[in-house]
Amino acid sequence: QVHLTESGGGSVQAGGSLRLSCAASGNVNIVRCMAWFRQSPGKVREGVAGVNLGGGATFYADSVKGRFTLSRDSLKETIYLQMDSLNTEDTGMYFCAAAPWKYCTDVPEQDDFEAWGQGTQVTVSS
């Protein structure tokens, strides 16, 4: 079983930055891809970015390309989402997720992920 703990959410004005962290624990050796999803009010949960823990390949939704950067610290079993040039459309609950035994090949999709964090709120004001 894999446990995920997120941190780093908060409130920021448009144009600002935030960094989210997600620490994995438990049976991490079976995890192949970790990702961030977000859910905005009235919208379905969408994949934001994913990273393969082996080769380090990253995948981003078009809406965040050039603004968000996903990185990983293998020693700490932690991934980070650096979010720059935030806008009000980025507001939502951000969830970390882990996919056992399956590498990501494109923008993450919910069905591929079995372990989820509790979520951290990001609010961007204009």
Per-residue pLDDT at 54: 83
Per-residue pLDDT at 11: 98
Per-residue pLDDT at 114: 96
Tens of pLDDT, residue by residue over 39-96, are 998 999 999 999 999 888 999 999 999 999 999 998 878 999 999 999 999 999 999 9
Per-residue pLDDT at 76: 77
Per-residue pLDDT at 6: 95
- What is the SS3 assignment for the chain? CEEEEEECCEEEECCCCEEEEEEEEECHHHEEEEEEEEECCCCCCEEEEEEECCCCCEEECCCCCCCEEEEEECCCCEEEEEECCCCHHHCEEEEEEEEECCCCCCCCCHHHCCEECCCEEEEEEC
In the chain, the percentage of residues whose pLDDT exceeds 70 is 100
Per-residue pLDDT at 74: 81
Per-residue pLDDT at 55: 84
Per-residue pLDDT for 12 more than 90? yes
Per-residue pLDDT at 121: 97
Per-residue pLDDT at 75: 81
